[in-house]
Amino acid sequence: MSHFKLESEQLNELAQQLENSYFAFDRIHHIDSQCLPSQNAIHSLTRKLFALAFPGFFGRQDLTRQNIEEHLLEQLEHLGLILFEQISHCFNCQKDSPNNGMQEKVTEITKKFLATIPEIRELLASDILAAYRGDPAATDTNEVVFSYPATLAIGTYRMAHTLLKLGVPLMPRIMTEHAHSLTGIDIHPGTHIGKGFFIDHGTGVVIGETATIGENCKLYQGVTLGALSFPHDDEGQIIRGQKRHPTLQDEVVVYANATILGDITIGKGATVGGNIFLTKSVPAGCTVTGKQAELKYRYRAVTTDRPTNKDFEI
Amino acid sequence: MSHFKLESEQLNELAQQLENSYFAFDRIHHIDSQCLPSQNAIHSLTRKLFALAFPGFFGRQDLTRQNIEEHLLEQLEHLGLILFEQISHCFNCQKDSPNNGMQEKVTEITKKFLATIPEIRELLASDILAAYRGDPAATDTNEVVFSYPATLAIGTYRMAHTLLKLGVPLMPRIMTEHAHSLTGIDIHPGTHIGKGFFIDHGTGVVIGETATIGENCKLYQGVTLGALSFPHDDEGQIIRGQKRHPTLQDEVVVYANATILGDITIGKGATVGGNIFLTKSVPAGCTVTGKQAELKYRYRAVTTDRPTNKDFEI
Amino acid sequence: MSHFKLESEQLNELAQQLENSYFAFDRIHHIDSQCLPSQNAIHSLTRKLFALAFPGFFGRQDLTRQNIEEHLLEQLEHLGLILFEQISHCFNCQKDSPNNGMQEKVTEITKKFLATIPEIRELLASDILAAYRGDPAATDTNEVVFSYPATLAIGTYRMAHTLLKLGVPLMPRIMTEHAHSLTGIDIHPGTHIGKGFFIDHGTGVVIGETATIGENCKLYQGVTLGALSFPHDDEGQIIRGQKRHPTLQDEVVVYANATILGDITIGKGATVGGNIFLTKSVPAGCTVTGKQAELKYRYRAVTTDRPTNKDFEI
């Protein structure tokens, strides 16, 4: 049905303008580059790692004690190849990436990562149980695995954090950002998080690069564990890598939309109330809430029966 | 290009470690299980139900009064099969699921659900109109259907809520969580919501399991209708199923980022201002706003023309 | 395995009920319509435009100075056809769409849009650099392109805004809403935004239709640039199209979860603190913060060592 046609001359001109544009802004093209990581391949890899971590829930559904070994051998070989390839590309992508010994290094990292998956699963099992215990709306742990955004966000973070510790550039951030896109939960792969972690609902949660979270902590939607301000060097450039985010000790609960900023410590078992803005440390066992802000009520006539008084506490 | 190879011995060891890990944490595998629901199949089913609810907008585009009957017969047969299959799997997945009479029960549920779609469409039509009337940026109702997250989130909720009322486990939560992932709007399928419901922008909205929302209500982004705290039983376990979320009567408007917690009632036609934290009931027709928090202003010299005074009200 | 079967009579009845439902609510079907835009086609188009804007990062990976010209000629011809087709459908979808001269008009728009891509890339290059300079967690600009939601949200906005200025209905909103779905960042295509714009984390950001943002501005997650209230006409209908959102002059920074409402002006170089609610203009160079809300601390005995005093500032 389409009658659209670019004349050859116009087409050439458009192409020429674009080509000029490509070489004018060299940070946003990768022409004549070595192979790059593929966002799609890394997203797909993450899905396959979830199928490996939660067998039967995701990916192949007919797993039995009879076929599991064959399935694992096949999957591990396949995942090894993709990991090796994409990790290599991520190293290629760095400015000062050395070529010497790269293949051995990436082989080593890939093997170490695959060998860590059982440990990651142990942490994931503790997270799933924490979700079930922490939410009265959860009917069983199947529901948690199948339909809680925390499963996806925390699971992806745990895999990405492991890769980051093994020295892999770029890929960990592509993985956690994919989980952020799917869940609204933004956990930097550099964060340290203990076992039994749960985030309920989760949309809008931001956990910064240098935050530390102990065991059995719980956050609700919209919580920020962020930085107060960034130190700059003499040339006005931001200094990277300093500890600038909060530390939560074990068993801390932070309610919805609380904002906690700076390198402060929330002590063991402390509770931070919803919607508060916190920039000072809190001792263990302490509950911090906002002083209830004063509200203003304005009444107007309504063409309806007012509900009976017993409904209201004002 | 990849030169990665796991030696057979290493591969076997990795597989063995993973297999051990699977049987160590039995809540997060489904090996030797009966067939499980498939997240992908349920997501795809939701898309097909949208195509059925909004014919011509989604799915097949060339529908006419001539071909619509044939199209519907084909679609209903196809959707019936998928619904039956996935609902069966959801029942299988429950611990104490009875095998007796399951097939008859699921057949009955599937037929009832399909027969309810015209009623659901009547509600959806009222929601679309509410969005158009409630947002000055909307140019027509086509734009609402094609590009408002409320269409996806509320539409999915209405289908999931119907399935929940018919007794289907798990599937309703997988459906609403998929909508949450796509829109940032988290509506529990257990919520009751009247006709003409609109959520503008929506990211960060959380509506809890036992919330009740009347007719013609409107919410903005970041609104939480949540619980204050959970009652626990003697063994310290959370008690599930109690009414713990707010009731909004008809024609209530809640502005962006307001947090409303607990089993309280917001009366008919009441308005709740943005960014406030509300834990007490509000009478009909009342407008509640936060007392404007005091702001601190710090000036510094700027190397620029200050805007003319008339721009500022400070 | 499925033994589900709808009898022919039941199937016919369900189909008939649905057909009746379709014609009862005529705003939510497109039966016997001219061809409609396809959400899927427009989402896929957006991905292809990103591959064109960020060559080598997205889409085809083996681009070189040798093959780039051929690649561009092929892509431009392909994108031209899809743009022409979907823009035509978007015009068809409007109520009072004139048929006369439509094909010439859409051809003109398509060519103009393609010719604007180099200008859009110049803006995108400034945005990528702003992200790198503005975030201490960013290791290089590759990471920004591959894994920052701002890249997707702002890039999509810049393309959609260009299409809106060229008079294309519907498509710009479908594009920005797709980015909203993927990032939690909701930028209306009608907004005006200068170069070097950065949004960090971004979930929950809402930027309204008539907002204006100068050069080198930075927002954090959860910021709303919204409207205070909508004027209504004599018949109680919302008046559409008036300036009702804020203006940010150059170099303004707005911290997380601040809400700025109404047609006010935030002056050049001003800083707006996190979590504040602002409805009045702010002069250039001014820093506005909330007066720290009073917090309440409640202590309870904990069965743990309290952290040493030096950790706490209370």
ipTM of the complex: 0.90
CA distances from C90 to A107, C38, C85, C93, C170 (A): 51, 9, 9, 5, 6
CA dist C52 and C45 (Å) reads 10
Percent above pLDDT 70 for chain A: 92
Q: Evaluate the CA torsion angle C31, C37, C40, C41 in order and state its sign.
A: positive
Measured between beta carbons, the chain C residues lying within 8 angstroms of A17 are 115, 117-118
User: Which two tokens mark B177?
Assistant: 């969580």
Nearest Cα of chain A lies from the Cα of C305 at a distance, in angstroms, of 8
The verdict on C287 and C220 lying in the same domain is yes
> Is residue A216 scored above 90 in pLDDT?
yes
CA dist C71 and C48 (Å) reads 13
Q: Per the CB < 8 Å rule, is B124 touching C288?
A: no
List pLDDT tens digits, range C194-223.
Answer: 999 999 999 999 999 999 999 999 999 999
Concatenating the DSSP letter of every residue in C252-264 gives: -EE-TT-EEESS-
Q: Per the CB < 8 Å rule, is A274 touching B269?
A: no
pLDDT number for residue A68: 94
User: Does a structural domain hold residue B5?
Assistant: no
Per-residue model confidence as pLDDT tens for chain B (314 residues):
457 888 899 999 999 999 999 998 878 888 888 778 999 999 999 999 999 999 999 999 889 999 999 999 999 999 999 999 999 999 988 877 667 789 999 999 999 999 999 999 999 999 999 999 998 888 899 999 999 999 999 999 999 999 999 999 999 999 999 999 999 999 999 999 999 999 999 999 999 999 999 999 999 999 999 998 766 777 777 677 789 999 999 999 999 999 999 999 999 999 999 999 999 999 999 999 988 778 899 987 555 444 433 333 22
Measured between beta carbons, the chain B residues lying within 8 angstroms of A36 are none
User: Which chain B residues in 9-48 lie under 8 Å from chain C, judged by CB atoms?
Assistant: 35
List pLDDT tens digits, range A18-57.
Answer: 999 999 987 888 888 877 899 999 999 999 999 999 999 9
Could you give the number of structural domains in chain A? 2
User: Which chain B residues in 155-174 lie under 8 Å from chain C, judged by CB atoms?
Assistant: none
Nearest CA to A53 among A106, A101, A118?
A118
Measured between beta carbons, the chain B residues lying within 8 angstroms of C19 are 68-69, 72
| Residue C154's pLDDT band (cuts 50, 70, 90) | very high
Neighbours of A3 (CB within 10 A): 9
pLDDT number for residue A230: 66
The verdict on C180 and C208 lying in the same domain is no
CA distances from C237 to A4, B135, B151, C26 (A): 40, 10, 21, 21
The verdict on B179 and B215 lying in the same domain is no
Q: Per the CB < 8 Å rule, is C31 touching B63?
A: yes
User: Which chain A residues in 86-115 lie under 8 Å from chain C, judged by CB atoms?
Assistant: 93-95
pLDDT number for residue B84: 96
Neighbours of B105 (CB within 10 A): 16
List pLDDT tens digits, range C250-307.
Answer: 999 999 999 999 999 999 999 999 999 999 999 999 999 988 778 899 987 555 444 4
| Residue that finishes a domain, picked among C149, C184, C219 | C184
CA dist B50 and B121 (Å) reads 10
The verdict on B42 and B119 lying in the same domain is yes
pLDDT number for residue B132: 94
Nearest Cα of chain C lies from the Cα of B231 at a distance, in angstroms, of 19
> Is residue C247 scored above 60 in pLDDT?
yes
Q: Which residues, other chains included, contact B73 with Cβ-Cβ below 8 Å and sequence gap of 6+?
A: C11, C12, C15
The verdict on B160 and B231 lying in the same domain is no
Helix (H) or strand (E) holding C49: helix C39-53
Q: Which region among A104-118, A135-149, A290-304, C196-210 has the lowest average model confidence (pLDDT)?
A: A290-304
Closest CB to B257 among C39, C188, C259: C259
pLDDT number for residue A109: 97
Q: Per the CB < 8 Å rule, is C32 touching B65?
A: yes
The verdict on A167 and A233 lying in the same domain is no
User: Does a structural domain hold residue A19?
Assistant: no
User: Does a structural domain hold residue C86?
Assistant: yes
User: Does a structural domain hold residue B194?
Assistant: no
Residue C157 CA neighbour count, 13 Å, CB half: 31
The verdict on C149 and C210 lying in the same domain is no
CA dist C99 and B20 (Å) reads 68
- Cβ of residue C188 closer than 8 Å to a chain B Cβ: yes
User: Does a structural domain hold residue B189?
Assistant: no
User: Does a structural domain hold residue C248?
Assistant: yes
pLDDT number for residue C97: 66
Asked if residues A76 and B11 have their Cβ atoms less than 8 Å apart, the reply is yes
Tell whether pTM > 0.90: yes
User: Does a structural domain hold residue C9?
Assistant: no
All partners of chain A with 3 or more CB pairs under 8 angstroms: B, C
pLDDT number for residue C112: 97
Q: B interface mutation test: which of A34, A66, A72 has the most B CBs within 10 A?
A: A72
Q: Per the CB < 8 Å rule, is A288 touching C304?
A: no
The verdict on B208 and B119 lying in the same domain is no
User: Does a structural domain hold residue A1?
Assistant: no
Phi, psi (deg, nearest 5) at residue C261: -125, 140
> Is residue A144 scored above 60 in pLDDT?
yes
pLDDT number for residue B27: 82
User: Which chain B residues in 203-222 lie under 8 Å from chain A, judged by CB atoms?
Assistant: 203-206, 208-209, 222
| Residue C2's pLDDT band (cuts 50, 70, 90) | low
Q: Which residue of C has its CA nearest to B183?
A: C181
Pair type for strands A253-254 and A218-220: parallel
As a whole number, mean pLDDT of residues C162-166 equals 98
Nearest Cα of chain B lies from the Cα of C43 at a distance, in angstroms, of 11
Q: Per the CB < 8 Å rule, is B84 touching C4?
A: yes
The verdict on C212 and C153 lying in the same domain is no
Q: What is the mean pLDDT of chain C?
A: 90
The verdict on A141 and A243 lying in the same domain is no
Q: Per the CB < 8 Å rule, is A56 touching B29?
A: yes
Range of the domain at C92: 27-184
Q: Which residue of B has its CA nearest to A138?
A: B240
As a whole number, mean pLDDT of residues C235-249 equals 84
> Is residue A1 scored above 60 in pLDDT?
no
Closest CB to B265 among A52, A293, A311: A311
Q: C274: domain CATH number?
A: 2.160.10.10
| Residue that finishes a domain, picked among B132, B150, B184 | B184
Q: C44: domain CATH number?
A: 1.10.3130.10
User: Which chain B residues in 265-284 lie under 8 Å from chain A, judged by CB atoms?
Assistant: 265, 267-269, 276-278, 280-284
> Is residue C134 scored above 60 in pLDDT?
yes
Residue C43 CA neighbour count, 13 Å, CB half: 11
Closest CB to C222 among A36, A37, A204: A204
The verdict on C164 and C62 lying in the same domain is yes
| Residue that finishes a domain, picked among C184, C212, C227 | C184
As a whole number, mean pLDDT of residues A169-188 equals 98
Q: Per the CB < 8 Å rule, is A69 touching B15?
A: yes
The verdict on B131 and B253 lying in the same domain is no
